[in-house]
Amino acid sequence: MSTKVFNLPDLGEGLTESEISSWRVAEGDVVEVNQVLADVETAKAVVELSSPYAGTIRSLHAAEGETVDVGAPVITFDLGGTDDDGSDEEDGGRVPTLVGYGSAPDKGRPARRARRGTSGPTSAAAATAQTEPPAADAAQALRPADEAGRSGERPRSTPPVRLFAKQNGVDLEQVSGSGAGGVITRADVEAVLADGTATPAQGPRAAGSDSTGQSTATRTLGGRPRTETVPVKGVRKATAQAMVSSAFTAPHVTEFLQVDVTETMELLAELKASRDYRDVKLTPMTLAAKACLVAMERTPDVNARWDEQAGAIVQQNFVNLGFAAATPRGLMVPNVKDAQAMSLTELADAIRELTGRAREGGLSPAELSGGTFTLTNVGVFGIDAGTPIINPGEGAILAIGQVRRMPWEYRGEIALREVMTLSLSFDHRFVDGEQGSRFLADVGAILRRPGLTLTMV
């Protein structure tokens, strides 16, 4: 019976690692070629990992929530669908293999962590040679969690469960595991927290009291632990790296412009009430996006990019319009390809569709790459203005603030008008102040008097 080891492939764009978001299979499952094995979160999107083989899942080399380097083993297959060691998979005889990763001294690649009391492999290749635990280790793995605690070994659980227990002050030595082989699950930890029997994993805190006599040590924000460590990975890690790179590479200049957008808001209301746009999701950002596309016809420099290697400016005569979308995974910036060729309805539909899939984690890496200009709407959070950081590889980003009803000079008198603040950041290496100012002024003019668009196209 032959075995095949499936190493994590490069899922696109030269990414070096991915996180196992969720497994779709378990050890002992029989799978077909191209069957989805897992949902894998990269720095850009959640993608499905498909099987290159038909056979039986012999072992999974990473737990859900674990980050795996590209090229490291993720699954070992038995080809043919049966074990060659005579074990009975249908009666639950197979015990989950809980593994971790560490740096191998010879190649620097992740290797499977050795079980306690055994010699661990020193490379990723050696890690896959031993796919079943020795009999002694298997017997130890089947002991209840409390027996493992008394023997001095760490209770069996996955890295995310250990982190969850640590964050909530639960000592895993005191938790009984309900998983296969006595493995402690997240539900086991939650059950301990629910019945109030959690034993602190750390020593007692020094507690004081306020004027009412209530302990200050037990009063925290949102009832959460006093401190929490949140791993930075996936989208948040990529965003942090990109923003640092952009902020310290591209010389940013930010300009602001307050605009009376009363006529634009009136136009928006009219469009929503019309039959042609009744089913179209139109927002102030949609109209601002269209204004940007029109203004780029006169100032295409803000849509260019800087080629560091060639020492040249690359003029892009198409617009892949990016827009910032807040999602549970962090800030994502999908982009509408060839937005310059779209009607207002097409643009609105594209933004709505991409926003929905971004929140569901269903975007492809291609939809998150190749942007040329970005629009971000800070107004939805009740914010007027900011200094947005340019997306790496782009020349400018425009932030639109909330629409405020405020006193404003109108036709020689003071009147209550709808006012918005625009904030444009641009790369001063190739966008001069004159170009950035002209573009911002044109966007403002269109939003001030939408009818002016007819004079610009």
DSSP 394-413: -SEEEEE---EEEEEEETTE
The reply to whether 394 falls in a domain is yes
Q: Exactly one of 107, 281, 428, 429 is catalytic; which is it? A: 428
Q: Of 76-80, 207-211, 414-418, 443-447, where does mean pLDDT reach its minimum?
A: 207-211
The reply to whether 445 falls in a domain is yes
Residues 173 and 221 in one domain: yes
The token pair that represents 119 in the structure block: 């010699």
Q: Say if residue 163's pLDDT is above 60.
A: yes
More confident residue, 30 or 144: 30
- DSSP classification of residue 323: E
Residues 118 and 264 in one domain: no
Q: Dihedral of CA 447/451/456/457: which sign? A: positive
Helices (H) and strands (E) in the chain, counts: 10, 21
Residues 324 and 407 in one domain: yes
Q: Of 90-104, 218-232, 308-322, where does mean pLDDT reach its minimum?
A: 90-104
Residues 273 and 311 in one domain: yes
Residues 179 and 227 in one domain: yes
Amino acid occupying residue 34 = N
How confident is residue 110, by pLDDT bands cut at 50, 70 and 90?
very low
- The per-residue pLDDT for 129 is 37
DSSP bridge partners of 112: 101
Range of the domain at 151: 143-231
How confident is residue 457, by pLDDT bands cut at 50, 70 and 90?
low
Residues 94-114 have a mean pLDDT of: 35
- The per-residue pLDDT for 266 is 96
The reply to whether 138 falls in a domain is no
Instruction: Find the angle CA(367)-CA(33)-CA(360) to the nearest 5 degrees.
Output: 30
The answer to pTM > 0.85 is no
The reply to whether 404 falls in a domain is yes
The token pair that represents 217 in the structure block: 């040590």
Residues 266 and 373 in one domain: yes
Q: Of 202-211, 287-296, 428-437, where does mean pLDDT reach its minimum?
A: 202-211
Count other Cβ atoms within 10 Å, centred on residue 38.
Answer: 23
Residues 44 and 189 in one domain: no
The reply to whether 377 falls in a domain is yes
The reply to whether 268 falls in a domain is yes
Which pairing describes strands 55-60 and 30-31: parallel, antiparallel, or unpaired?
antiparallel
Residues 450 and 322 in one domain: yes
- DSSP classification of residue 223: G
- The per-residue pLDDT for 196 is 66
Q: Dihedral of CA 290/294/296/297: which sign? A: positive
Where is mean pLDDT largest: 16-30, 208-222, 404-418?
404-418
Instruction: Find the angle CA(17)-CA(20)-CA(24) to the nearest 5 degrees.
Output: 145
Q: Say if residue 22's pLDDT is above 60.
A: yes
Which CATH number belongs to the domain containing residue 287 in this structure? 3.30.559.10
Residues 270-292 have a mean pLDDT of: 93
> In a 10 Å sphere around its CB, with 0-12 CB exposed, 13-18 middle and 19+ buried, how is residue 292 labelled?
buried
Count other Cβ atoms within 10 Å, centred on residue 250.
Answer: 23
- The per-residue pLDDT for 82 is 44
Of residues 232, 234, 229, 231, the one with CA closest to residue 332:
234
More confident residue, 92 or 71: 71
Residues making up the chain, counted from first to last: 457
- Measure the CA–CA gap between 381 and 331, rounded to whole angstroms: 14
Q: Pick from 106, 133, 160: which residue ends a domain?
A: 133
The token pair that represents 414 in the structure block: 């003071």
Q: Pick from 102, 133, 164: which residue ends a domain?
A: 133
How confident is residue 415, by pLDDT bands cut at 50, 70 and 90?
very high
Q: Pick from 193, 211, 231: which residue ends a domain?
A: 231
Residues 210 and 263 in one domain: no
Tens digit of each residue's pLDDT (9 = 90 or more) over 341-397: 999 999 999 999 999 988 887 888 889 899 999 999 999 999 999 999 999 899 999
The reply to whether 26 falls in a domain is yes
Q: Dihedral of CA 110/116/119/125: which sign? A: negative
Residue 408 to residues 418, 419, 440, Cα–Cα distance (Å): 9, 8, 20
The reply to whether 10 falls in a domain is yes
Q: How many structural domains are present in the chain?
A: 3
Residues 432-447 have a mean pLDDT of: 96
Residues 57 and 118 in one domain: yes
- Measure the CA–CA gap between 96 and 157, rounded to whole angstroms: 10
How confident is residue 136, by pLDDT bands cut at 50, 70 and 90?
very low
Residues 403-420 have a mean pLDDT of: 96
- The per-residue pLDDT for 7 is 92
- Measure the CA–CA gap between 402 and 378, rounded to whole angstroms: 7
Which CATH number belongs to the domain containing residue 217 in this structure? 4.10.320.10
Tell me if 113 sits within 8 A of 63, measured CB to CB.
Answer: no
- The per-residue pLDDT for 91 is 36
Phi, psi (rounded to 5 degrees) for 258: -90, 135
Q: Say if residue 219's pLDDT is above 80.
A: no
More confident residue, 221 or 284: 284
Residues 282 and 349 in one domain: yes
- The per-residue pLDDT for 12 is 65
The token pair that represents 228 in the structure block: 């929490």
Residues 288 and 424 in one domain: yes
Q: Is 61 a catalytic residue?
A: no
Which CATH number belongs to the domain containing residue 80 in this structure? 2.40.50.100
How confident is residue 84, by pLDDT bands cut at 50, 70 and 90?
very low
How confident is residue 441, by pLDDT bands cut at 50, 70 and 90?
very high
Residues 166-179 have a mean pLDDT of: 83
Q: Say if residue 73's pLDDT is above 50.
A: yes
